[in-house]
Amino acid sequence: MSTRSFINQSPFVSVILAITLCFVLSVSAVAARSDQNKDKQDRGKVSEQARNNDRDQKNERNDRNQKNERSDQGKKTDRNDQSKKNDRDKKPNGSIKLKNNNVTIKIGDKNWNHNEHYAYPTYRPVKNYDPAHPVLRQTHYTHWVFDLRTRPSSRRSVYFYFGYFPYVQTTYIRIRPYVSVSYCSAPIIINDGYYLNRGSSYEIDDTLADIRSAWLDGRSDLIKRHIDSSREIAVLLDGKYDYSIASSDYLDMTTDAIDQMKTVAFTWQSVRKRTDGSYTAYAKHTYVDQNGTAQTVYVSYTIDGYRGGYDIVEVGSSASPLN
């Protein structure tokens, strides 16, 4: 009997063969699926490793860029500092230069130009005139403006030409109608430092003497004697009316100026009587800046008789003589 005949005649053998074949096919399918899953896992691991590599490279690039930016910023800051130092070294040591109303201010080791605006700290060195050991004191007047870039709505103060406290906020000044000034006679020239002639009122001379001594002796209380708190004070710049301020504000501003500046000469040059009964006195004010350079500003004070004496009702300053 042949093998084929035996298989065909034995049903049991056919079943065994069929089961064996199915088992072999099943094992093959399981093995194929296992190979596929392994391939997928391997591909996933490769993909994750690639993502990790990309992330590491990206972080490395960001760190390198940040380091380069910090390095560039540091180099730029160093260049700016060196440029500023070179500008300071090239500038002259003059305290005030007056030309076409442009003012250059010398404070310590810095120069400030009027067109480039001022930049002063809130606390300022005052009264001991020793740059190595300055005394710091807070200003009395709280509405000074030192940088027009931050406070564009400002006006020049009466002490603008002195190189200190250059501007005031416009919200604290008042524009009033100003009556044109007329005088009774020609100015009385002062040769001996005193206004009074024989027979004249001593009250005028006392008032002018107090104003002069206030600057020479550093005593703002002498100015306070001639301030009427109920009146405003007109401010003139270069001989023209600019605005009016409260008398208390003027006293605070003047106190700051007296504290800051060292006056070495204050000379009354002439006095004129007005038709309204007030008097305008003109003076040459010389002071020494922090570099030891003498500077001159021309000032005017108008006084009016009140309360048995004379009060200041108008002040002015200019780089040129006023009378």
Backbone phi, then psi, for 322, in 5-degree steps? Answer: -95, -25
Confidence of residue 311 (pLDDT cuts 50, 70, 90): very high
Instruction: In whole angstroms, give the CA distance from residue 284 to residue 299.
Output: 6
Q: What is the pLDDT of residues 270-286, one digit of tens each?
A: 999 999 889 999 999 99
pLDDT for position 116: 38
Q: Strand 232-237 vs strand 309-318: parallel, antiparallel, or unpaired?
A: parallel
pLDDT for position 152: 72
pLDDT for position 94: 37
Q: Strand 110-113 vs strand 167-169: parallel, antiparallel, or unpaired?
A: unpaired
Start-to-end CA distance of the chain, whole Å, equals 153
For residue 71, how far is the Cα from the chain centroid? 28
Name which of 158, 169, 189 is nearest 256 in CA terms: 158
pLDDT for position 316: 96
Confidence of residue 268 (pLDDT cuts 50, 70, 90): very high
pLDDT for position 242: 96
Is pLDDT of 216 > 90? yes
Helices marked H in the chain: 3-9, 11-90, 202-217, 221-224, 247-260
For residue 33, how far is the Cα from the chain centroid? 77
Q: What is the pLDDT of residues 145-183, one digit of tens each?
A: 877 777 778 899 999 998 878 899 998 999 999 888 888
Is pLDDT of 103 > 90? no
Helices marked H in 125-246: 202-217, 221-224
Confidence of residue 200 (pLDDT cuts 50, 70, 90): low
**Comparison of pLDDT for 214 and 81, the residue scoring more:** 214
**Comparison of pLDDT for 186 and 41, the residue scoring more:** 186
Instruction: In whole angstroms, give the CA distance from residue 191 to residue 10.
Output: 156
